[in-house]
Structure 1
């Protein structure tokens, strides 16, 4: 059955989409960066090799994992360390880790590995070069790691329930790119097709890291069994596949969305265009409905396995599970999808019936049968900020006022004199060199505040314009009031990029930074969000994904949803 597009459906209003409560309810989708990467690797038939694995019985040494595409090879250089338990920390200020990594542009020579060995294990205390694309580190999930090594060394499989409860054997605490520590700047690699979509280098690094973790835990079990005169069991492939890479993400990531408004706009706009495209289809074929039905069941399994002890996420999970029952009731035997404009009807029902968590879960799932229509939207998710940030001094004050009223209506109507509306202040910690959120009226942080409250600053700009003539040019205003340049720039950006600005107060007493963290991580493709406070969250990446050597066109896309046939093994 051919489908045709309805042209009257628009993208959702930024005033609806760009609220923190909704952004903090986003889920992975076809446009998530991990899935974009695995589809490309399979489509282009990349090959993978392990040219070096020199690690001793104590888990100390170096290994190299290479990925070769149509034009280039990239290699993960992994350093494995024997870290004392008291030195293991997920904090950014840690100085030692169980494993440290660099993604190398090409295949490293022995001299390259020697150079990296003197720098990568020290992370911020070391320096790399333009031949390195990213630098990262990871720590073991200690109890689970020991359980897996011990079980395999004794010739047994590890307990599937224990694996499922954690979901990973190692978690990264940072994956640095874009010039960090001397690595290649984004501009040096952005023209390469494989890195055109944002964060593809970092996602490749994590994809290869997962392979390293599987091989390392097997190696440690083999060495322990050999010392005892036994032969270790080989980790069951399905158990191995159920394991992803964990990640601990804190406040350091939250300002990214505020500091990259054009890039953020392109992410959201691509997703919103995908949702609009699917809602505009006048019919769903039997094959499309069947795929949606299968993936809905598989996604529900993901939700069933998703646990958290944080009160916010516990509530959201409860609401989502209730929403799933409502979806089942609405869809019935899926006849609801056989009428005209079925996805628009489904979406409109969800908007009236479900929580934000359920609405966004369903919005992502609706895209799944339509890769041919929406996948190319990922090509527009990158951004060159340079021309977009140029202020237009020729704009009139009247035009600027109109933009402010359209984009920042909520901010202009906020009473910024009330303490609760400006209770927090973003600053950079001198000790940790990372963003922090302080209590404005309880800590001496206001002097060091970062410009991460665009709503408050836009309202101040609006007040400053009150007595200026409408036909006056912005350039003249800024000559008199240069303190408002950053706000004028943001307003003009939002005028051209409608999803560039969060339409919420980022310094209120009620702000939840985890909403910003979850939004960014959902675009990465993360699952199993588990907040540990309102300021940091643990996630899982590449859980259920094929390993590089098993990647194929058949398994490169829907791996994010666990198979229904795997039973307890997933």
Structure 2
């Protein structure tokens, strides 16, 4: 990369970036966790094998998939089940699934598999140990699964339009890690280079799960059709990802992990700022951007949703892409700060969905400039949540004014501004968002409205002298500890807070879900309501045995002819 840097473009203002509507318009980029994983696997020449595939004609059994890197081997242990239709549910309270998995640290022995077989299929009702790094489960997309088995068993390939309309054969309903169900705590593996970026163990589990799903569909077709059956064609297999159904349970994560949220956003914003600061671009870099833009047009064309909000956003996005195409026709993208000029133009002309897509896309030609940011997306500051009690009341109030101006200006007595309350359902054991003035839920409210809570703390601070330490204030008002902690975190982590009201009447929870899933690397966001959505992971990616440095990164973009 031979372009010059002018070092004058700062990161975008948190007040712009951290609004819910913009977070809900984010797209995957080079720093997304799935792509970080596949790049590493390829660049370090990891090898893959399937030492065990013991599944009967009914689709019941287990399989083991290994991934071996420079220092360690990890194994996906998969259990396949014959699930009655009436027991199939994507809810977190389900008790049975079509398949269950654990990512095992090392290669499991027969005794390990026997032990896991009595626990992993039961998920929350079972227990694993520190040799398990994640525990997960998945359900079939029933109609597509049946169609594909029927076609392949007869020696035919499935209908490509039916395959494309769904995009996956199985969808995960949870991928647990970090000590859940007895699995290894994150701290025990955080110092391993392969896990220096966030959620890499979970992404590896999903990557290997996709190979298991492909092998299962071929196995079931052979069991049904025998010698006349066909293997799933490679081009169709490549187009299949792993689906995921995500609901309100993921939304509190972003609020409850402010440092992690800051690091995710800050890394992407730093990458964007670095590229915007280039005075010039090489012709090859501009050409790569143009070719990927053409592939993005294909990706957007195949993006389907039945939700009115996303339908409207897709209409606007397609119009945005037409405007970008016209812009590119009049600019060679090589001189006079081309990427900064492009983003200034997008901010004036495109929707937020279009702006964020182009902001992600300008990073693609510059892996050597931005890829080093991925380790910084982890949270390496265990002391960040420690309250600085010696800070003065005056300094604390100043931090509140600087980081929470909108919250301090909000009229929290107006019902529309505090219409909702977050709580945990006793029956379903899931986070819920209820109507504060219609349901008796206020006493069960979770602290998931940082803006309101900081405003309440600010009001109570008004009667305190400027020089008093905030520790004295908290001795008298311990109910504000979580707010003071967040204010101090925000002072050194400016992207740690959502700059919007998370309990107002018109808040869209799916905006939070969309941001987190985009950071994972998901595509084809399909809201099913304002509170849950479906997405696809690793769609168009190479399978483990095909992975090379040449195909390990840009797989997320289908080629301009629409093939994977």
TM-score scaled by structure 2?
A: 0.99
| Structure 2 CA distance for aligned equivalents of residues 277 and 8 of structure 1 | 9
Q: For 1:87-486, what aligned pairs fall within 5 Å after superposition? A: 87-226=87-226, 230-332=227-329, 334-335=331-332, 337-486=333-482
Q: For 1:14-25, what aligned pairs fall within 5 Å after superposition? A: 14-25=14-25
- After alignment, is 160-169 or 469-478 more displaced? 469-478
CA displacement 1:226-266 (0-9 Å, x = unmatched): 2xxx4211111111001000000000000000000001100
Give the C-alpha shift of residue 520 in structure 1: 0.3
1:544 matches 2:532: no
CA displacement 1:361-407 (0-9 Å, x = unmatched): 00000000000000010010000352001111111111111110111
| Structure 1 CA distance for aligned equivalents of residues 503 and 418 of structure 2 | 5
Cα root mean square deviation, aligned: 0.9
| Structure 2 CA distance for aligned equivalents of residues 471 and 133 of structure 1 | 48
| Structure 2 CA distance for aligned equivalents of residues 476 and 169 of structure 1 | 58
CA displacement 1:524-569 (0-9 Å, x = unmatched): 000000000000000000000000000000000000000224x4x5
Q: Secondary structure at the residue paired with 2:382?
A: helix
| Structure 2 CA distance for aligned equivalents of residues 486 and 165 of structure 1 | 45
CA displacement 1:171-194 (0-9 Å, x = unmatched): 000000000000000001111000
CA displacement 1:477-516 (0-9 Å, x = unmatched): 1122111111000000000100000010000111111000
| Displaced runs of 4 or more, over 2 A | none
CA displacement 1:437-490 (0-9 Å, x = unmatched): 111111111111110000000001111111212122111211221111110000
- After alignment, is 320-329 or 470-479 more displaced? 470-479
Give the C-alpha shift of residue 223 in structure 1: 0.8
| Structure 2 CA distance for aligned equivalents of residues 248 and 51 of structure 1 | 30
| Structure 1 CA distance for aligned equivalents of residues 473 and 180 of structure 2 | 37
Aligned partner of 1:51 in structure 2 is 51
Aligned partner of 2:488 in structure 1 is 492
Q: Secondary structure at the residue paired with 2:228?
A: coil
Give the C-alpha shift of residue 333 in structure 1: 5.2
Q: Secondary structure at the residue paired with 2:383?
A: helix
| Structure 1 CA distance for aligned equivalents of residues 506 and 182 of structure 2 | 38
| Structure 1 CA distance for aligned equivalents of residues 93 and 480 of structure 2 | 35
CA displacement 1:104-129 (0-9 Å, x = unmatched): 00000010000010011111011110
| Structure 1 CA distance for aligned equivalents of residues 93 and 417 of structure 2 | 31
Q: Secondary structure at the residue paired with 2:501?
A: coil
Aligned partner of 1:38 in structure 2 is 38
Q: Which runs of 5+ in 1 are unaligned?
A: none
